[in-house]
Amino acid sequence: MQSSAPDAFWNDIYSNGSQTSSGNPGLALAQFAGTLTPGTALELGCAKGDDAVWLARQGWQVTAADISSVALGIAAKNAETAGMSERLRFEEHDLARSFPDGSFDLVTASFLHSPQDWPRADVLARAAAAVDPGGHLLIVEHASRAPWSWSPENTRFPTAEDTLASMRLTPSAWRHRCLCPIARTATGPDGQRAIVMDNIIFLQRLT
C-alpha cells in the first residue's frame, strides 16, 4: 500500500511519464457509451483526457475529474489540440473528499483504481447517485493482473457482481445492461502485450 499523499503519488506518475496521450478511447467506453445518445457526461479519474476528449468528439458535454493537477493540465492541452475545449470542463478532486456538482446522462469511471487505501465503493456509489433517471453508469475495472501491474501477484480481483454489491444500490432502480468480464489485449509501459480481463458494470438508472 502506498503511503505518500494521493495527489503527490499521482502527480509524480504523470510528471515522469509521457506528456502526450494516445488520443484513443478505452475499448469498453467506445463499445458501450458509443451506443448512447450524447448528452451530459461525467468522467471520474480522467487521467490525460483520452476518454473525455473522445466523448466530447461524440457530442457529449463532459465534466472530467481527477486528483492529479498534472494529469488535468495535460488533459486540458489535449482537449485544446483536439478543438474540444468548449465541450470539456476539467475539475481537480480527490474523490474520497469532494465530488463534482450536478447530475448527468452518463457517469463513467474506467480503471479508477489506486494503490492507496481509499473508499472506492463509496466513490462508485456517489458516481451512481450522480446519474439522472434514464441515464447510464459505466464502470470498467481490472479483473485480472497484467504482468507489469503494481498490484501484488496474489491480488484477488472482485467480480462485476462483487463491485456492484459493494455499491449498495437500490436494485429496483437499475437495469443491468452488462455485468460481465471481458477479455482485452493490453499493452504495457515497455510495449509488452498480454491478455487481461476487465469487469464491465453498465447500468441504466430507471428512477
Ligand X SMILES: C[S@@+](CC[C@H](N)C(=O)[O-])C[C@H]1O[C@@H](n2cnc3c(N)ncnc32)[C@H](O)[C@@H]1O
**Which part of the chain contacts ligand X (CB under 6 A), choosing from 66-74, 131-139, 155-163, 189-197?**
66-74
Query: Segment 161-180, which members bind ligand X (CB under 6 A)?
Result: none
Closest to ligand X by CB, 96 vs 180, is: 96
Residue 63 and residue 54: Cα distance in Å, rounded? 13
**Which part of the chain contacts ligand X (CB under 6 A), choosing from 79-87, 91-99, 131-139, 158-166?**
91-99
Question: Does 79 sit near ligand X (CB under 6 A)?
Answer: no
Which of 57, 77, 89, 93 binds ligand X (CB under 6 A)? It is: 93
Residue 105 and residue 87: Cα distance in Å, rounded? 15
Q: What cell does 87 get?
A: 465541450
Closest to ligand X by CB, 10 vs 104, is: 10
User: Residues 88, 64: contact at Cβ < 8 Å?
Assistant: yes
Question: Does 64 sit near ligand X (CB under 6 A)?
Answer: no
Query: Segment 16-35, which members bind ligand X (CB under 6 A)?
Result: 26
Residue 95 CB burial class (10 angstroms; 0-12, 13-18, ≥19): buried
Report the sign of the C-alpha dihedral through residues 160, 46, 41, 34, in that order. negative
Query: Segment 94-153, which members bind ligand X (CB under 6 A)?
Result: 94-96, 110-114, 118
Report the sign of the C-alpha dihedral through residues 21, 50, 45, 203, in that order. negative
Question: Does 202 sit near ligand X (CB under 6 A)?
Answer: no
Residue 45 and residue 181: Cα distance in Å, rounded? 21
Closest residue (Cβ) to ligand X? Answer: 45
Closest to ligand X by CB, 57 vs 113, is: 113
Binding site for ligand X (CB under 6 A): 6, 10, 26, 45, 47, 66-68, 71, 93-96, 110-114, 118
